[in-house]
């Protein structure tokens, strides 16, 4: 167990001091160590905090199996979609300044999105469109209810994929010269998949959030995050590019192996990672890298009602704004199962609502998971995950680098292994 790095205490209290059992927390350790020992993942980090105190911070296995390099407390991970909650918080700092209202049309700030149409019928080669029932609002961008397609087999999805082709390299990644403005121009000429607000469809809506931050603030999104989130919270290892001085701490990324391959196969080696190269596309939906300690600062800010630790800590959001973001905003208090068109492996659907950037647990009996109503969370494509339970004042962070995120039931198992340690 790692407790100290560079003089900083990573373990701040004994579990019993905050109502957790040291013995029961060993189930969490055994669970993750089992995945490593069985060769299913190369390595991981787990962090548990309660009542503002970190009581568990463990490292497992290797950050780079090929190099034989171990996971350390300061290992840097690709967040993928765990970028989205950070983007959502950043946008809501502008809401608190009165720069927009949630029901404002996005086109008020991004005129290119003013005259969007909705797909009606036809094929990618020949299709008809109609007027939308209403305009896309800022809240839609935070909730994935914009109607914007994000690929797939539907005609709007296939049109989206075709429109992106000029901006893709052969390996399917965005060219490093692409920008958020390019993305806006691309989606502006495509039909929506459905009327805004009618369904929930996971995709690029959070990139619109990033564009809104740029347009409203007049600052590039990477710099906006630095000023509004990373500097105040001292998230010194978080950003879109891993600097040369830190590349040796970047974990390798893997995918699940096919039947004729090893359990996991290298896809992005640290020494030649695209995350170590400068880029112009600062996605709100994914792209950040971070450490467990940095993401814990972000989660503790949320759990602390928008303020970082200590009486002199930085306040990022007001407590009522955090509450607004982490309640269910789906129409009629519905769950994702009743509104989603498909869905990511970052969340279940039944008994789960969605707020402004977070999934929200509505009913554990319907979701069939242990947890507390009001718990909010998200995950990333490389199997990273976190949750915050306001009722239990409890945080869990899990970082590893294995795609896809649904390869193993990490998140359900981690939730059970964390909640079972509560003794008061």
Residue 192 dihedral angles phi and psi, to the nearest 5°: -70, 155
User: Residue 122, preceding bond cis, omega within 30 degrees?
Assistant: no
Residue 225 is predicted with a pLDDT of: 98
Residue 3 is predicted with a pLDDT of: 56
pLDDT band at residue 70 using 50, 70 and 90 as cut-offs:
very high
**Mean pLDDT computed over 49-70:** 97
pLDDT band at residue 50 using 50, 70 and 90 as cut-offs:
very high
CATH 3.40.710.10 occupies which residues in the chain? 4-86+222-419
423 pLDDT higher than 60: yes
Neighbours of 103 (CB within 10 A): 11
pLDDT band at residue 203 using 50, 70 and 90 as cut-offs:
confident
Instruction: Indicate the DSSP class of residue 105.
Output: B
Residue 313 is predicted with a pLDDT of: 81
Q: Are 81 and 380 in contact (CB under 8 A)?
A: yes
76 pLDDT higher than 50: yes
CATH number for the domain formed by residue range(s) 100-218: 1.20.58
pLDDT in tens, 405-415: 999 999 999 99
394 pLDDT higher than 60: yes
pLDDT in tens, 119-150: 999 999 999 999 999 999 999 999 999 999 88
Neighbours of 130 (CB within 10 A): 13
Residue 170 is predicted with a pLDDT of: 54
Q: Is 370 exposed, middle or buried (0-12, 13-18, 19+ CB in 10 A)?
A: middle
What would you report as the CA-atom Rg of the chain, rounded to the nearest whole angstrom? 21
Q: Are 79 and 299 in contact (CB under 8 A)?
A: no
Quote the CA–CA distance of 316 and 308 in Å, as a whole number. Answer: 8
Instruction: Indicate the DSSP class of residue 230.
Output: I
pLDDT in tens, 156-199: 989 988 988 777 665 567 777 889 999 999 999 999 999 999 99
Sign of CA dihedral 18, 20, 23, 25: negative
**Mean pLDDT computed over 365-389:** 97
Fold (CATH) for 4-86+222-419: Beta-lactamase (3.40.710)
State pTM to two decimals.
Answer: 0.96
Residue 80 is predicted with a pLDDT of: 97
**Mean pLDDT computed over 342-346:** 74
Helix (H, G, I), strand (E, B) or coil at 351: coil
């Amino acid at each position: 167990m790692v407790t100290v790095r560079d003089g900083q205490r990573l373990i701040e209290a004994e579990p019993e001091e905050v109502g957790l059992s040291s013995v029961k927390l060993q189930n969490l350790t055994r669970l993750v160590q089992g995945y490593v020992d069985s060769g299913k993942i190369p390595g991981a980090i787990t962090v548990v905090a309660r009542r503002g105190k970190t009581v568990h911070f463990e490292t497992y296995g290797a950050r780079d199996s090929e190099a034989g390099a171990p996971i350390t407390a300061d290992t840097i991970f690709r967040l993928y979609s765990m970028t989205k909650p950070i983007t959502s918080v950043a946008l809501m700092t502008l809401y608190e300044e009165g720069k927009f209202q949630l029901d404002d049309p996005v086109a008020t700030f991004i005129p290119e999105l003013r005259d969007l149409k909705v797909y009606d019928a036809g094929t990618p080669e020949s299709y008809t469109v109609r007027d939308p029932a209403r305009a896309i609002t800022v809240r839609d961008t935070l909730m994935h209810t914009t109607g914007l397609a994000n690929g797939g087999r539907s005609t709007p999805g296939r049109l989206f994929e075709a429109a992106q082709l000029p901006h893709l390299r052969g390996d399917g990644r965005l060219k490093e010269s692409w920008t958020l403005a390019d993305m806006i121009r691309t989606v502006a000429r495509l039909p929506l998949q459905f009327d805004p607000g009618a369904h929930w469809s996971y995709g690029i809506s959070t990139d619109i959030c990033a564009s809104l931050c740029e347009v409203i603030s007049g600052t590039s999104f990477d710099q906006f995050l630095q000023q509004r989130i990373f500097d105040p919270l001292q998230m010194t290892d978080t950003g879109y590019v891993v600097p040369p001085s830190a590349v040796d701490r970047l974990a390798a990324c893997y995918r699940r192996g096919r039947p004729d391959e090893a359990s996991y196969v290298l896809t992005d080696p640290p020494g030649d990672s695209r995350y170590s190269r400068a880029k112009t596309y600062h996605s709100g939906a994914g792209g950040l890298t971070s450490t467990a300690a940095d993401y814990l600062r972000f989660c503790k800010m949320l759990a602390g009602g928008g303020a970082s630790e200590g009486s002199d800590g930085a306040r990022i959001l007001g407590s009522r704004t955090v509450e607004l973001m982490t309640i269910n905003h789906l129409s009629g208090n519905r769950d994702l199962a009743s509104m989603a068109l498909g869905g990511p492996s970052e969340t279940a659907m039944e008994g789960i609502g969605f707020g402004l950037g977070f999934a929200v647990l509505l009913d554990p009996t319907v979701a069939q998971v242990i947890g507390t109503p009001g718990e909010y969370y998200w995950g990333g494509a490389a199997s990273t995950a976190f949750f915050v339970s306001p009722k239990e004042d409890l945080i869990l962070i899990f970082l590893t680098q294995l795609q896809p995120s649904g390869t193993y039931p990490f998140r359900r198992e981690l939730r059970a292994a964390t909640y079972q340690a509560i003794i008061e």
